[in-house]
Amino acid sequence: MGAEVPVGVSLAERAAQLRVLAGLIYRAPGQDALAALAECVESWPDPLTPAQRQAWQEGLAQPEALLLANEQLFWVPGSQRLSPFGSVYTDKDNLTWGDTARAWQRFASAQQWQPVLECAAPDHLSEQLLLLALLLEQDNVEASRELLCDHLMPWGPRFIAGLEAQSVSRFYQAVGQMLEGTLQALMAQWSLSATAMPLYR
Backbone angles phi, psi at 138, to 5 degrees: -85, 0
Residue 5 has pLDDT above 50, yes or no: no
| pLDDT above 80: residue 2 | no
pLDDT confidence band for 7 (50 / 70 / 90): low
Average pLDDT over residues 58-76: 95
pLDDT for position 3: 39
Q: DSSP character for 194?
A: P
Whether the pLDDT of residue 8 is over 80: the answer is no
pLDDT in tens, 91-108: 999 999 999 999 999 999
The amino acid at residue 182 is T
Q: Has residue 34 got a pLDDT over 80?
A: yes
- Report the DSSP beta bridge partners of residue 124: 85
User: What pLDDT is attached to residue 165?
Assistant: 97
pLDDT tier at 120 (50, 70, 90 boundaries)?
confident
- d(CA 201, CA 198) in angstroms, rounded, equals 10
Entry pTM: 0.94
176: amino acid identity, one letter: G
Q: What percent of the chain has pLDDT over 90?
A: 91
Share of the chain above pLDDT 70, in %: 97
Does 110 score more than 60 pLDDT? Answer: yes
Average model confidence (pLDDT) across the chain: 94
Q: What is residue 76's three-state secondary structure?
A: coil
- Cite the DSSP H helix spans in the chain: 11-26, 34-42, 50-60, 63-74, 86-90, 99-110, 125-137, 141-146, 156-165, 170-189
What's the pLDDT at 38? Answer: 93
For residue 112, with 0-12 CB atoms within 10 Å meaning exposed, 13-18 middle and 19 or more buried, which class applies? Answer: exposed
Q: Distance between CA 74 and CA 68 in Å, rounded? A: 10
Residue 80 has what pLDDT? 80
Instruction: Report whether pLDDT(116) > 50.
Output: yes
Does pLDDT of 68 surpass 80? Answer: yes
pLDDT in tens, 169-191: 999 999 999 999 999 999 999 99
